[in-house]
Amino acid sequence: MENYSSSWETTTLMKMAVVSMEEPSGALPVRRRAGTETPVPASGFAMAAARRAARSPSPATPSGLQEEERQVLFEFIVVLKGDPLGIQRLPDKFTDFVTGDESASLHLWEAACGCCRWIVDVIFDARGKMYLHTGWEKFARYHHLEGDFVLMFSYLGDADMSVNVFDETRCRRHYHIDNTEEDDD
């Protein structure tokens, strides 16, 4: 396990990172446009996806497919510490993976259901650290996220990310009812 001086830790196994994260203390320094107080959104993920697709022997998959049908490009696990509704830092290895093609937002959805998506803005601090920002609180409230929950993120390209949620007992949570069940009448 690699230890960093900040309040989180990262472990990498192949393409998997385990991250224990806390909300950053104090105000978050972000890159700003000259003369404004507006965070600088980065450009899209499309160029990175195109570069990775060019390096990959398999063709790129359309983003309308279910997660199981799409190639997972990067996965990591986050253990929520501190306020789960506050902004959340993404692992440096993921940030490095998308370097140069950072999106202004990511599209998150609970992995078992591709029907509900949340657009979550991404911001960067002065050191290049990547954070989930606007929209994260709505996602966290809907999924009733609490401290010590474990989230498994799967990046599928084109700013799409599925999320598996595990509660404090490390059991996976499911948020949508299967409509294929028969009625008892």
Among residues 89, 78, 80, 85, which one has the least CA distance to residue 141?
85
Structural contact between residues 120 and 140, judged by C-beta atoms closer than 8 angstroms:
no
Q: How far is residue 51's CA from residue 37's CA, in Å, rounded to a whole number?
A: 33
What is the per-residue pLDDT for 99?
81
Structural domain spans, the chain: 2-22+40-166
Predicted TM-score (pTM) above 0.85:
no
Structural contact between residues 71 and 63, judged by C-beta atoms closer than 8 angstroms:
no
- Give Cα 137 to chain centroid, integer Å: 13
Residue scoring higher pLDDT (143 or 10)? 143
What is the per-residue pLDDT for 175?
75
- What's the pLDDT band for 168 if we cut at 50, 70, 90? very high
Task: Determine the average pLDDT of the residues in 130-147.
Answer: 94
Architecture per CATH, 2-22+40-166: Beta Barrel (2.40)
- What's the pLDDT band for 68 if we cut at 50, 70, 90? low
What is the per-residue pLDDT for 154?
96
